[in-house]
Structure formats: structure tokens, C-alpha cells
Amino acid sequence: MSAPIKTNPKSSMKIDNAPTPHNTPASVLGTSYLKNGNPVKHQKTIDEDAEAEATAKSLLANEPLLLQSIQDKLGTLIGQDSGYVENLPMVVKERMFALKKLQNDLFQMEKDFQIEMFELENKYLNKYKPLFERRSNIISGVEQPSKEEISKGKEMILEENEDFVNEEEEEEGEEKKENQNIKGIPSFWLTALENLPNVSDKITERDAAVLEYLLDISMEYLTEGKPGFKLIFKFSKENPFFTDKELVKTYYYQNELGYSGDFIYDHAEGQEINWKDSESNVTVNVETRKQRNKVTKQVRTIEKLTPTESFFNFFDPPKMPEHDHAEGEECNHDHDHGNDEYDADDDELDNLEDRLGLDYLIGEQLKDKLIPRAIDWFTGAALEFEYAEEEEEEEEEDDDEDDDDDDEDADEDEEDDFANTANKSEQAPECKQS
């Protein structure tokens, strides 16, 4: 199932300080234009350019602090407006206005496309439901697979892994009779979740005991209000940990598209879990101690609950705090107040954003990877594709790093050539004297 909506929790529709060309000729910023619109450029001689370049390199080579200062200054100019666009003639600006209008028309069409894709995904999700229900019934043991399903599925698995099924191993006697009493596929969803990256790190031993009672994971698209989807975890009636038969997590997107033409993640809402008692609650650690009343001498037991890491914290998602600002005051993340308290707040906010991003990533993985490919995550076959994609990404990153290294080597070679040239020019008079 492909996702019609790709989002980024940290993305935004508003683009501030869009970069303009930093190498815009200085003459363009003035009023000197030729008839064809090209800026007038002063022609320097080759000797003048070479002399100026040699002087600059010599100065910077002998003044490392000056070089560092210049580099720091250039760093602050990245993304700053060069003034090129603002100083274009009005006739050119009018054409820019037209392009902006055309881009907005395209943006509206992209929105229609995303909405139709959303509706198409929902249409096919309803077509998938009979297959998902059949899968759920086989996993839970409510129904038995047909001979045709077994035969076809066996062929597919043998193509992937010849050693998965050993025809020579046959169960006999009591062992075969005992195995006939096994209901469905035990620990199916627990095993699949433990194979899913980012999710497996969240599952503790206490969580595993609860997830043994997980019967099915499904999803539904939201058809009213904000666009989004919800994940539904269905548990067995015999679940001894909480009274809920289903746990639901809902992800919402913003109504408007982002700058990239995709829907943007807005927020997530979980569900309060009705644990049967404190001991059953795997999201807290329980410490008990006895306390004696000084007057009545009666002894009572006090429980201290401490939050702990748990997969079931997934149903209590992090929330971005609403900051109150005075009228006209803007909230700037990248501010420097010179105050440790603000720095601590920024670190906490960055940490919260990371948690929000991870929470959304897990939701997308459950929706796009686990639910449609559950059997492959149970067997671990899906991990081969997962690692293959990661290796491709790492190879691309390595190629980029190699290109950067080549560029750096080229720059170093140029600097060496320049230094050798300078040394030769200094040694030339001595050679003449000899």
C-alpha cells in the first residue's frame, strides 16, 4: 500500500529568506544595463587579475585569524538576499508576477491531486478489508487456511528461502497430536513488531507479555474533518492487563498543503488505557512501602508510581506546547538570549521535536510497512529489503563524500601549486646570483 500523503513534522508552508544567487555581479545591482539587459562589466587585464589574486592569497596565508574572520562573516551571509531580484526592471518583475500566479495554479492542482489520491487509497483500503479480515482470522485461529492457500504460499516462501520448509521432517505420535492443539499463529504480531525498526527498541519484556494477546493491527483513513488515519490494535478478551478490547492511535494532517505539495503532519491523539491495576500497568514502575500513623499506630501501604519506557507509551503521544506571546511578538527558535534558561528551553524543545518526529515515523511504518506486509515482518523476509534500501542510501552518501574529498584534494593541489610558484619566485634572484 503506497502512502498518498508524505509528510514531515518539521516542515512548514512558509518559506522565509529564500536564497538568491550569491554570485550576482555587483554591476547588476546598480543602474548600468545594456540594451539586452546584460550588466556592464569592467574588463581587467590578465596581469591585474593575477597580481590581485597573488596578493590576496599571500595576505590570507600569513594572517590565519583574518582568514577565519572572513570565513565566519561569509557564513553569516549564506541565505541572505543579494538584492538582485529587487533591483530588476519593472518589465521583468511583471513577468515574475505572472510566474508566481502560474505556480499558485499548479499548487491548487496539486492539492486536488492529493485529495483524489487520498480518496483512491481509501477506496482500495475498503477492497483490501476482506483479505485483512481473512488474515486476522487465520492468525487468531478462528478460521483454517485452505489447501490452495497453503500450496501457493508454500511455493512463494520456498522461492525466497529453500531451507524454510524441510520436507523430510515430519511430526509423529504425541508431538503431532500436541501441535494440533496450537491455535492460530502464536506471537504473530509480537514477532512482527519486534522485527520492525524503531518499534523493536520500544518493546520491553513486560510489553511482550501484553502483546501476546494482540490479535490484529489495522488502519482506517479519516473521511471527515482533517485528513489523516488511525491505527487500531485489537486485543483478546482474555487479556489480563487492561479492559480495553481495542487501542486506537489517530494521526492528523493539516488541511492545507505544504510548500512541497504534500500534506503536513499536524498532531496525533492517543487513548487512555484502562489498566486493571497498577501491577498490570507496564508504563509505570510500582514501589510499595509501609507507613505507620503516629497517632493511631495503624499501618498502611503506599504505592509510588514512576513512569518508565514502554511500547504502550505510543498511545500517549508527545504534544507540542502552545507558547503565549505578546501581540506583535514573534517566537524565534534560533534566538540567542545569552541566558542558560533559554538554552535549556531550546534543548528541551529540540528533544520534543525529535520525539514527535519519531512518533510520526513509527505511525507511518505501521501503516505503510507492517500492516500490508505483516507475514514478511513475521518471518523477517522484509528486513532484507529494509537493509538493501539502507545500503543504497549509504552508498549514495559515500559517493557524495568521495566527491567532496575530490574537490578538497583539488583545492589543496591548487594551494600547493600556488605555494610552489611563490617559493620559486622568491628563489629566483638567488639562482641568478649564482
Name the most confidently modeled range: 131-140, 174-183, 322-331.
Answer: 131-140
pLDDT digits (tens, 9 = 90+) for 371-380: 999 999 999 9
What is the reported pLDDT for 175?
A: 67
pLDDT at position 6 over 50 = no
Q: Specify which residues 304 forms β-bridges with.
A: 287
The pLDDT of 180-184, averaged and rounded, is: 86
Alpha carbons 270 and 248: distance in angstroms, whole number: 6
pLDDT mean over 253-279:
86
* Between 272 and 33, the higher pLDDT residue: 272
pLDDT at 324: 41
Looking at residue 47, what is its pLDDT? 64
* Buried residues in 380-418 as b, exposed as e (16+ CB within 10 A): ebbeeebeeeeeeeeeeeeeeeeeeeeeeeeeeeeeeee
Cell of 310: 514502554
> Once rounded to an integer, what is the mean pLDDT over residues 117-144?
94
Three-class DSSP category at 276: coil
Asked whether 261 and 110 are in contact (CB, 8 A), the reply is yes
Name the pLDDT band for 237 (thresholds 50, 70, 90). confident
Cα separation, 361 vs 119, in Å, equals 22
pLDDT (0 to 100) of residue 385: 81
8: pLDDT confidence band, cut at 50, 70 and 90? Answer: very low
According to the model, what pLDDT value does residue 433 have? 38
Query: Of the ranges 7-11, 185-189, 378-382, which one carries the lowest mean pLDDT score?
Result: 7-11
Q: Let me know if residue 315 belongs to a domain.
A: yes
DSSP 105-134: HHHHHHHHHHHHHHHHHHHHHHHHHHHHHH
Burial of 247 (0-12, 13-18, 19+ CB in 10 A): buried
**Which tops the pLDDT comparison, 240 or 41?**
240
pLDDT of residue 116 exceeding 50: yes
Instruction: Tell me the percentage of the chain whose pLDDT exceeds 90.
Output: 37
User: What CATH number does residue 362 fall under?
Assistant: 3.30.1120.90
Q: Which of 205-219, 251-265, 350-364 has the lowest mean pLDDT?
A: 251-265
Residue 411 within any structural domain of the chain: no
Distance of CA 137 to the CA centre of its chain: 33
Which of the listed ranges 3-12, 79-88, 166-175 does the model predict with the highest average pLDDT? 79-88
Top pLDDT among 7 and 268 is at: 268
Note whether residue 403 is domain-resident: no
Would you say residue 41 lies in a domain? no
Tell whether the model's pLDDT for residue 26 goes beyond 50.
no
- Inside any domain, residue 356: yes
259 compared with 147, residue with greater pLDDT: 147
- Residue 305 inside a domain? The answer is no
Amino acid at 9: P
Whether 325 is in a domain gets the answer no
pLDDT at 269 over 80: yes
Write out the three cell numbers for 332.
Answer: 524565534
**Which pLDDT score is estimated for 170?**
59
pTM: 0.66
As a whole number, the mean pLDDT across the chain is: 76
Q: What is the number of structural domains in the chain?
A: 1
Question: How many DSSP H helices and E strands does the chain contain?
Answer: 10, 6
**pLDDT tens digits for 407-419?**
666 555 655 554 5
State pLDDT tens for residues 317-364: 988 776 444 444 444 444 444 444 445 577 788 888 888 989 999 999
Q: Where in the sequence is the domain holding 125, given as residue range(s)?
A: 1-11+109-163+181-275+310-320+340-383
**Is residue 22 over pLDDT 50?**
no
Which tens digit of pLDDT belongs to each residue from 44-89?
A: 555 666 777 777 667 666 777 776 777 676 666 666 667 888 888 9
Looking at mean pLDDT, say which of 19-28, 136-145, 321-330 comes out highest: 136-145
For residue 157, pLDDT beyond 90: no
pLDDT score for 392: 60
Other Cβ atoms within 10 Å of 374 Cβ, number: 21
Domain-located, residue 371 = yes
Please tell me the predicted confidence (pLDDT) of residue 377: 95
Containing 253, the helix (H) or strand (E) segment is strand 246-257
> Which band of pLDDT confidence, cut at 50, 70 and 90, is reported for residue 29?
very low
DSSP string computed for 361-392 = HHHHHIIIIITTTHHHHHHTHHHHHHHHHHHH
Per-residue model confidence (pLDDT) at position 350: 81
